[in-house]
Structure 1
Amino acid sequence: MSSEPGEPSASDDARRTVVVTGASAGLGYQAAEQLAAAGHRVVLATRNPEKATAAEQSIRAVVPDATLEHVHLDLADLGSVRSAADSLAALGPVHAVLNNAGVVGSRERRSTAEGHELQIGTNHLGHFAWTGLVLPLLTATGGRVVHLGSISHRWVTLDRHDPLGAGHYNGYRQYARSKLAVMLFGFELAQRLADAGSPVTSVVAHPGLALDSLTGRRTATGRPGTHGVGTPGPVSSGGEPAWIGPGQRWIAQGKDAGAVPLVHAAVGTDVRSGQYWGPAGWFQLRGPAAVVPAEPRAHDRGEAARLWAASEDASGVAFALDALG
């Protein structure tokens, strides 16, 4: 099987089925391609079937023997989340779920199908419900769930009385708050799974400052150039934030490099529940994948408990952790 340069292919007994949400563009696409190149079976969980098909074609142009599946998942619609979990159960064993999909920096306040603010409703609440619904599949395999965090969690807090709310709306602040919520959930889930004696592990990972414009383009032979066989791959996540300038590009890395900590968190043999994986370089903006520190606020169990209760109430999904041991 093909593999990323310097990364060994998975042996048959180490081959995993990994579900990647938001796998048709950006970090999710890069992670899906890297997982396929390492020999894993990849399920692309996306909301746009046409983009999923394009992603599959692009991955197969680089990894001809890739094993790929697709599940329709719209994290901004909890009905779709439930349907996707049912569809996933029909595909057989699942060993890891990489919760990557998300909305970034919407300038105007928008809402999910259920009326929640779109960024926290998609990035956190949709994945909260999705994780609760697919947890039995991971329990059966002693699997792993990976939550996509962000360095932006360092600069925000949640409203104690309304952790899912937006208050006075600012798109990029709300994105950061959604990522803090993701991390609080990921670390709290690790604690609760351990307390319940569950075999499932919960890990948080982040890509550093990763930009589409810096992503290396490769041919099927691994040489720089167009993606796949002369056709650009669906790797763009739809543009970069307005604040990204020459200085930020100088200290950033491509989304292909940014996906490496996510992939390692999903299938690495040295990964442990409750860890936080990200780039080990300056300010965690770029560099090789390693266990890195998160801000103490991401480990605040009181804040996590309030968020958990609000999320169960808003999603209608309760985690029966006492039945997972």
Structure 2
Amino acid sequence: MNEQSISQNKIENWREDRLPNLSGKCFVITGGNSGIGFEAAQMLGRRGADLILACRSTQKAASARMMLEATSTGTINLVTLDLADRSSICRASDGVRAITQRIDGLINNAGIMQTPKCQTADGFELQFGTNHLGHFLWTSMLLDRVEAAGGRVVQVSSIAHRLGRIHFGDLMGEKKYSSTKAYAQSKLANLMFAFELDRRLAKAQSPAIAIACHPGYSNTNLQSSGPTGLLNMIYKPLNALIAQPSALGAVPTVLAAAGLEAQRGAYYGPTGFFDMRGPVSLSHIAPHALDLERSARLWAESEKLLGISFLSQD
């Protein structure tokens, strides 16, 4: 599905107070210790959901759990996850599987932005490897748990996807690297992955669905932990002038993960002021994110890079 085919089900100004009771439901959130992930965890926890925070820093995850326990009524478990390290992804997925048999919402939230040129532990360009390939592998390892619950895979993308292009001839930026272009490519890959995943789930008649979302321009640690030099200096005043609080940025994630109104294959986010903030509804999708041929190629390339077969249609 895309924004045209689901327009008749359009959601207007969705808010947290429309969440149902989530007691007994389980949500796994990558990067759930801060920013959008933490705020989403807090909203879901307030409705009784059981939470599994998959975080790179065990110390920050433990601190987040302490804060969440003040308002959450469900269980809160932690697993250590570094999406830039295949071995960590494998260990963390085993950890999740040991905790739960069912995942109602697999929320692929964690990410990095505009980092200097660097590689993951497995030799991939850091942003593409973390934001896209890491979540691709993570999802492949936990999809059966999502299917067991008839649940949702939620992929957090960005309005930056509109600037992105998938450079199949240079996915890792080895020929020419730009931190901004690499970030935009990774967020476009996130969105294309979500749409292609939902198409494949539907074709396989799986009980699971996939939904995408974005937080608009929200004030999180992304702007300070990744960009360096001039970019870092620019974001400080921009955050003060334009950015919305991270709690508002998390609303589309919560809608996609647990909202009764959410539709499979949709893309939700703020719809005011260039989609950077404002009422949450269906958000604008760049036409190139809906390219079926390139989406299938991205899937095949991801499988090849990771050496896996995941909902393959061959």
1:244 aligned partner: 235
Amino acid at match of 1:171: S
Match of 2:21 in 1: 11
Distance in 2 (CA, whole Å) between partners of 1:32 and 1:16 is 13
Q: What letter is aligned with 1:276?
A: Y
- Counterpart among 292, 296, 303 of residue 287 in structure 2: 296
Q: CA RMSD in A?
A: 2.0
1:103 to 79, 91, 112: 112
Note the residue ranges of structure 1 that are not aligned, 5 or more in a row.
213-235
**Aligned positions, number:** 292
> Are 1:153 and 1:176, in contact at CA under 8 Å, matched by a contact in 2?
yes
Amino acid in the other structure paired with 2:224: G
TM-score w.r.t. length of structure 2: 0.87
Is the CA contact (8 Å cut-off) linking 2:132 and 2:186 kept in structure 1?
yes
What does residue 279 of structure 1 align with?
270
Among 217, 221, 226, the residue aligned to 1:209: 217
1:183 aligns with 2:186: no
**SS in structure 2 at match of 1:122:** helix
1:47 aligns with 2:32: no
Q: 1:44 aligns to what SS in structure 2?
A: strand
User: Offset at 1:317?
Assistant: 2.6
CA–CA distance in structure 2, aligned partners of residues 210 and 151 of structure 1: 11
How far the C-alpha of 1:156 sits from its partner, in A, is 2.3
Distance 2:223 2:278 in 1: 24
What's 1:199 paired with? 207
Matched, 1:313 2:304: yes
Give the 3 Å change call, closer, same or farther, for CA 33–238 of structure 1 in structure 2.
farther
* Distance across 2 between alignment mates of 1:130 and 1:42: 17
Aligned equivalent of 1:145: 153
| Deviation >6 Å, runs of 4+ | none
Tell me which residue corresponds to 1:23: 32
- The amino acid that maps onto 2:38 is Y
Give the whole-Å Cα distance in 2 for the aligned partners of 1:57 and 1:246: 31
Consecutive unaligned residues of structure 2, counting only runs of 5 or more, are: 1-14
In the alignment, which residue of structure 2 is the partner of 1:160?
A: 168
TM-score by length of 1: 0.84
CA contact under 8 A between 1:17 and 1:95: conserved in structure 2?
yes
Alpha-carbon distance in structure 2 between the residues aligned to 1:320 and 1:173: 29
Q: Please give the alpha-carbon distance, in whole angstroms, between the structure 2 residues aligned to 1:158 and 1:6.
A: 34
After TM superposition, give the deviation of residue 239 of structure 1 in Å.
2.2
Counterpart mapping for 1:254-269 below 5 A: 254-269=245-260
Percent of aligned positions with the same letter in both sequences? 39
C-alpha change, 1:179 and 1:64, in structure 2 (3 Å) is closer
C-alpha spacing 1:58/1:123, structure 2 compared with 1 (3 Å): same
